[in-house]
């Protein structure tokens, strides 16, 4: 083991005071150029590796990370995000970190702006953002840049916003992959159903829109003759209204045996298929939330594509910690793995951080 290097030793080798070395190691002001050059020369000669963890702990500063994300029901993709983020906060509790979550109503730019302004008023150390529309979000991320507050994008990648980092799937590739897996099952079918859940005619996120581009790209290239029936189940419709819509669809489209949704709500169709005993129809969707997993085990969902939502939430907070507290370089783009779950392997899926 290499001998421990003391600040006193560096000071003696450099011919400067201990206080000067301490200011240089912690990048503090009021150090002459000549003294800095002497110390940096010695640091290079001895291959000095600072103990960033010890330094951060000794600094005894508090850090406030804020997350802005959509409101959600329980057992959803977003709930997993929150759980991961809070677990990361707990794992770094010795560094005086806290996480505050601001939840906005999806598709409501007024509510988004209100929540983002509350976030800015709290003067955060770092921010995790699930973006709204580009121009609406940019108005606030410009303020973060002006205030030198690092932020991470989650779920939807918008490089024009110039984030510190991004966590999420490559949505185009994910949609392309979803189509390919679906057609392994439905290669002889002439018709399939694409279920969407929207509000005011809009899909839930840019990520889902990009998945659809990838999905249709694959279908156009490999199965151009297959008819894709779109079925919209708006988020503001009641359970009974959705049931009636699904009943009418499957009575009309008797040749549809395979369905897909590019969101986490495959269970809306999966539960309907189980209740109505339509065992010759299956749906494919996203995210290992419990309602989806139950349908997967019981056979109404054929496959789920896992997004590792828990890991996304954990890694966003941990990346802010590394960048802000430890002053480390962090990867700018982090695409999550595309993992396919079936009833045979769903019970072995690990959602938690290793």
Note down pLDDT in tens along the chain; length 354 residues: 445 677 888 888 889 888 888 888 767 778 898 888 888 888 888 777 666 555 555 566 889 999 999 988 765 788 889 999 999 999 988 889 999 999 999 888 999 999 999 999 999 999 999 998 899 999 999 999 999 999 999 998 999 999 999 999 999 999 999 999 999 999 999 999 999 988 777 776 788 889 999 999 999 999 999 999 999 998 888 889 999 999 999 999 999 999 999 988 899 999 999 999 999 999 999 988 889 999 999 999 999 999 888 999 999 999 999 999 988 899 999 999 989 999 999 988 866 554
What CA–CA distance (Å, rounded) separates 260 from 258?
7
Q: Which residues contact 311 (CB under 8 A, 6 or more apart)?
A: 84, 336, 351, 352, 353
| pLDDT value, residue 1 | 42
Residue 53: the pLDDT is 56
E strands of the chain, at which residues? 63-70, 97-104, 126-129, 151-154, 165-168, 191-196, 198-199, 202-203, 227-232, 258-261, 282-286, 301-306, 333-335, 339-341
Q: 55: helix, coil or strand?
A: helix
List the one residue out of 95, 124, 115, 9 whose CA is nearest residue 318: 95
- Per-residue pLDDT, 354: 46
Nearest-angstrom CA–CA distance, 341 and 286: 9
CA dihedral 92, 98, 99, 100 (to 10 degrees): 170
pTM of the model as a whole? 0.78
- CA atoms within 13 A of residue 222's CA, in its CB half-sphere: 17
DSSP single-letter state for residue 325: I
Q: List b or e across 314-337, with b for residues whose CB sees 16 or more CB atoms inside 10 angstroms.
A: bbbbbbbbbbbbeeeebeeebebe
Q: What is the pLDDT of residue 52?
A: 57
Q: How far is CA 250 from the centre of its chain?
A: 34
The whole-angstrom separation of Cα 306 and Cα 285 is 9
CA distances from 258 to 219, 229, 302, 318, 341 (A): 14, 11, 9, 39, 17
Are the CB atoms for 194 and 231 separated by under 8 Å? yes
* Alpha carbons 15 and 277: distance in angstroms, whole number: 83
- Do residues 286 and 307 lie in contact, with contact meaning Cβ atoms separated by under 8 Å? yes
Dist CA 220 CA 226 (whole Å)? 9
What are the Cα distances from residue 172, in Å, to 104, 234, 264, 297?
26, 23, 16, 28
How far is the C-alpha of 128 from the C-alpha of 68, rounded, in Å? Answer: 6
CB 266 within 8 A of CB 295: yes
pLDDT for the residue numbered 343: 93
Contacts of 22 (CB under 8 A, 6+ apart): 7, 28
CA distance 75 to 294: 12
C-alpha radius of gyration, the chain, whole number: 25
Task: Record the tokens describing residue 334, joined without a space.
Answer: 């982090």
User: Residue 197's pLDDT is what?
Assistant: 83
Beta carbons within 8 Å of 135's beta carbon, 6+ residues apart: none
DSSP-assigned states of every residue in 216-256: HHHHHHH-TTSEEEEEE--TTS-HHHHHHHHHHHHHH-TT-
């Amino acid at each position: 083991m290499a001998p421990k290097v003391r600040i006193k030793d560096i000071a003696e080798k450099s011919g400067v005071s201990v206080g000067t070395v301490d200011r240089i190691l912690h990048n503090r002001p009021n150090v002459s150029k000549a003294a800095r050059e002497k110390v940096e020369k010695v640091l290079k000669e001895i291959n000095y590796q600072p103990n960033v963890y010890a330094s951060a702990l000794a600094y005894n500063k508090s850090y406030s990370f804020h997350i802005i994300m959509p409101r959600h029901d329980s057992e959803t993709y977003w709930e997993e995000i929150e759980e991961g983020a809070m677990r990361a906060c707990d794992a770094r509790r010795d560094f005086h970190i806290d996480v505050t979550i601001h939840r906005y109503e999806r598709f409501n730019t007024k509510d988004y702006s209100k929540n983002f302004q509350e976030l800015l008023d709290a003067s955060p150390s770092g921010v995790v953002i699930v973006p709204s529309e580009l121009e609406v979000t940019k108005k606030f991320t410009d303020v973060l840049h002006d205030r030198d507050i690092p932020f991470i994008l989650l779920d939807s990648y918008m490089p024009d916003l110039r984030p510190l980092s991004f966590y999420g799937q490559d949505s185009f590739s994910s949609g392309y992959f979803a189509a390919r897996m679906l057609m392994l099952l439905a290669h002889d079918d002439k018709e399939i159903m694409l279920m969407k859940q929207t509000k005011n005619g809009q899909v839930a996120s840019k990520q889902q829109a990009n998945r659809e581009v990838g999905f249709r790209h694959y279908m156009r290239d490999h199965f151009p003759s297959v008819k894709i029936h779109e079925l919209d189940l708006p988020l503001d419709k009641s359970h009974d209204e959705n049931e009636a819509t699904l009943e009418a669809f499957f009575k009309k489209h008797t040749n549809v045996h395979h369905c897909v949704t590019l969101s986490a709500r495959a269970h809306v169709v999966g539960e309907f298929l189980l209740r109505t005993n339509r065992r010759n129809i299956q749906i494919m969707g996203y995210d290992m939330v419990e309602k989806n997993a139950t349908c997967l085990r019981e056979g109404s969902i054929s496959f789920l594509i896992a997004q590792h939502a828990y890991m996304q939430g954990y890694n966003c907070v941990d990346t802010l910690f590394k960048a802000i507290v430890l002053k480390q370089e962090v990867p700018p783009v982090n695409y999550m793995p595309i993992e396919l779950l079936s009833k045979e392997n769903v019970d072995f899926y690990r959602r938690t951080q290793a």
